[in-house]
C-alpha cells in the first residue's frame, strides 16, 4: 500500500499503481482539497485496476483526521469514553453513531476503509496515543469499540484495529524512534491484548501491529515478529483477517534495515499488506526487488476490506440519519481539539 504526492495522479504514479505488487493506496491531508476532488481521485484510482485497488486513510477524529473541509469534524474517541462508567448506554450509542458517521462520509467519496478503531489503552503515558484511545479500562474499550465497529459495518466499512498488541504503555513515539515495552506477556494478556482477543474473530477484518519491541516476549518489533503475528494473533487468538503493517518508513521500523529488508521481514513475519509511505524512492526500489509468491489466502483476507454499496454523498447529507449523527457529535464534542497530522 503506497501513498501519493498530491491531489491528482501523476503519470508516474499511475504506472506504480498498476504494478502487480501494489494492492492499495493510503491517502493523507496533502491528497485532499475538497470532497468533489477527493471523489474524483478515488474514482480515478479505482478505475485503474479490476478488482480495484484498496483506498485507505487514517480518519479517527480529533488529532488524526485527514479530511476536514466538507467533512464532519469528529472528536477524539476519548470524548466518547469519558462518560462511559457513568452513562454506559449513552456512550455506546455515541460510539455506534460516530463509527457510522466516520465510515459513511468516507464511503460516500470512494474511500474503502479507515484504519480504525484504535484499541490501545490510555495509561496517560503515550502522548502519540493519548485521546486517540477510548479508555484505560480494557472492558470499556471492548464495549465501545464493538459499538463503533457496528456503526462502521452499517455504513458498509470494515474495521482495522490498531496497534497490536498495545501501544499505550510506552512514552516513545514510534514515528520518531523504536519504543521498548518491558511488561510481561501474561500482564499484557489481561490488559492491552484483551480488546484484540475479544474483537478479532467477529468484528475486525484487519489488524495493524505496533512498531514496538516487547522485550520480555520477543526481541523483534511486533510488526516483524512471527511470535506476535503467527503464534499469538493467528494461532492463540484465531484471527483470520488481514494483518497490515504500520508505515515501514517510520523510525520504529529502522531497526530491521533498509526498505527492502523491512518489507521482506514484515512479509516473513506474517503481514498480508505493507504500508510504505512518505518515501517515494523506496517504493520504486522495493517494487523492483521484492519477490512474492501468489497467495490466495492473503488475497481473500484483503478482499474483505473492500467497501461495498456506498451511498450517494448528496443523499447522505440530506438523510435524517446523517443529521442525527451530526447532532449527537455536537452534543458530546469537546470545545477545542489539538491538531496533529501524523505522517
Spatial distance between the Cα atoms of 98 and 116, rounded to a whole number of angstroms: 12
Does 270 score more than 90 pLDDT?
Answer: yes
Sequence-separated (6 or more) residues with CB below 8 Å from residue 295:
none
Q: What is the pLDDT of residue 335?
A: 61
pLDDT tens-digit profile of 296-327?
A: 999 999 999 999 888 899 999 999 999 999 99
228-257 tens-digit pLDDT: 999 999 999 999 999 999 999 887 788 889
Distance (Å, whole) CA 88 – CA 291: 49
Average pLDDT in the chain: 94
Q: Are 120 and 163 in contact (CB under 8 A)?
A: yes
Determine the distance from the C-alpha atom of residue 116 to the mean position of all C-alpha atoms in its chain, rounded to a whole number: 4
Q: How far is CA 22 from the centre of its chain?
A: 18
Q: What's the CA gap between 25 and 30, in Å, rounded?
A: 13
CA 274 to chain centre: 12
Does residue 102 contact residue 114 with C-beta atoms inside 8 Å?
yes
pLDDT value, residue 252: 72
Q: Which helix (H) or strand (E) holds 114?
A: strand 113-114
Report d(CA 324, CA 101) in Å as an integer. Answer: 10
pLDDT of residue 33: 97
Question: Is it the case that residue 340 has pLDDT exceeding 60?
Answer: no
- Please name the residue ranges forming H helices in 182-295: 185-189, 194-199, 226, 259-269, 280-289
- Give 131-157 pLDDT, tens digit per residue: 999 999 999 999 999 999 999 999 999
318: Cβ–Cβ under 8 A, 6 or more apart, which residues? none
**Residue 269 contacts residue 225 (beta carbons within 8 Å):** yes
Contacts of 229 (CB under 8 A, 6+ apart): 209, 222, 223, 243, 269, 270, 271
Quickly count: other Cβ atoms within 10 Å of residue 238's Cβ. 10
Mean pLDDT along residues 63-88: 96
Q: Indicate if the pLDDT at residue 334 is higher than 90.
A: no
Asked if CATH classification 3.20.20.300 holds for the domain at 58-332, the reply, yes or no, is yes
What does the pLDDT read at residue 287? 94
The alpha helices in 157-295, defined as continuous H runs, are 185-189, 194-199, 226, 259-269, 280-289
Average pLDDT over every residue of 196-203: 96
- What's residue 219's pLDDT? 95
Length of the chain: 343
Of 260, 229, 232, whose CA–CA distance to 244 is shortest?
229
Instruction: Determine the pLDDT at residue 177.
Output: 84
Residue 338 in this model has a pLDDT that exceeds 80: no
Within a 10 A sphere around the Cβ of 292, how many other Cβ atoms?
Answer: 11
Question: What does the pLDDT read at residue 122?
Answer: 96
Q: Residue 274: what are its φ and ψ, rounded to 5°?
A: -120, 130
Split at pLDDT 50, 70, 90, the class of 339 is very low
Closest to 112 measured CA to CA, from 162, 64, 155, 151: 155
Which residues are catalytically annotated?
175, 246
Helix, strand, coil fractions of the chain, as percent rounded to 5: 45, 10, 45
What gap in Å lies between CA 241 and CA 153, rounded to an integer? 15
- Retrieve residue 269's grid coordinates: 513475519
How do the domains of the chain map onto residue ranges?
A: 1-50, 58-332
pLDDT of 41 reads: 98
Amino acid at each position: 500500500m503506497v501513498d501519493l504526492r498530491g491531489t491528482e495522479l501523476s503519470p508516474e504514479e499511475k504506472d506504480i499503481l498498476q504494478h502487480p505488487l501494489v494492492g492499495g493506496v493510503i491517502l493523507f491531508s496533502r491528497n485532499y482539497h475538497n470532497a468533489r476532488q477527493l471523489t474524483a481521485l478515488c474514482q480515478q484510482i479505482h478505475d485503474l485496476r479490476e478488482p480495484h485497488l484498496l483506498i485507505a486513510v487514517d480518519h479517527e477524529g480529533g488529532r488524526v483526521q485527514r479530511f476536514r473541509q466538507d467533512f464532519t469534524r469528529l472528536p477524539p474517541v476519548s470524548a466518547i469514553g469519558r462518560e462511559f462508567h457513568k452513562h454506559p448506554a449513552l456512550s455506546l450509542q455515541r460510539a455506534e453513531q460516530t463509527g457510522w458517521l466516520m465510515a459513511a462520509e468516507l464511503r460516500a467519496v470512494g474511500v474503502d476503509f479507515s484504519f480504525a478503531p484504535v484499541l490501545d489503552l490510555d495509561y496517560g503515558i503515550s502522548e502519540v496515543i493519548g485521546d486517540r484511545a477510548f479508555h484505560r479500562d480494557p472492558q470499556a474499550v471492548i464495549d465501545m469499540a464493538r459499538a463503533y465497529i457496528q456503526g462502521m459495518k452499517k455504513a458498509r466499512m470494515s474495521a482495522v484495529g490498531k496497534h497490536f498488541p498495545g501501544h499505550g504503555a510506552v512514552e516513545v513515539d514510534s514515528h520518531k524512534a523504536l519504543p521498548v515495552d518491558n511488561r510481561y506477556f501474561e500482564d499484557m494478556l489481561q490488559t492491552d491484548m484483551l480488546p484484540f482477543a475479544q474483537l478479532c474473530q467477529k468484528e475486525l477484518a484487519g489488524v495493524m501491529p505496533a512498531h514496538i519491541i516487547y522485550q520480555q516476549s520477543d526481541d523483534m518489533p511486533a510488526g516483524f515478529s512471527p511470535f506476535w503475528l503467527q503464534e499469538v494473533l493467528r494461532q492463540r487468538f484465531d484471527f483470520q483477517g488481514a494483518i497490515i503493517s504500520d508505515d515501514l518508513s517510520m523510525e520504529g521500523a529502522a531497526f530491521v534495515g533498509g526498505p527492502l529488508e523491512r518489507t521482506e521481514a514484515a512479509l516473513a513475519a506474517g503481514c498480508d499488506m505493507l504500508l510504505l509511505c512518505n518515501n517515494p524512492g523506496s517504493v520504486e526500489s522495493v517494487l523492483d526487488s521484492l519477490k512474492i509468491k501468489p497467495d490466495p489466502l492473503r488475497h481473500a483476507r484483503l478482499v474483505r476490506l473492500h467497501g461495498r454499496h456506498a451511498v450517494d454523498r448528496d443523499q447522505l447529507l440530506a438523510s435524517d440519519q446523517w443529521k442525527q449523527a451530526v447532532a449527537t457529535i455536537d452534543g458530546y464534542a469537546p470545545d477545542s481539539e489539538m491538531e496533529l497530522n501524523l505522517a
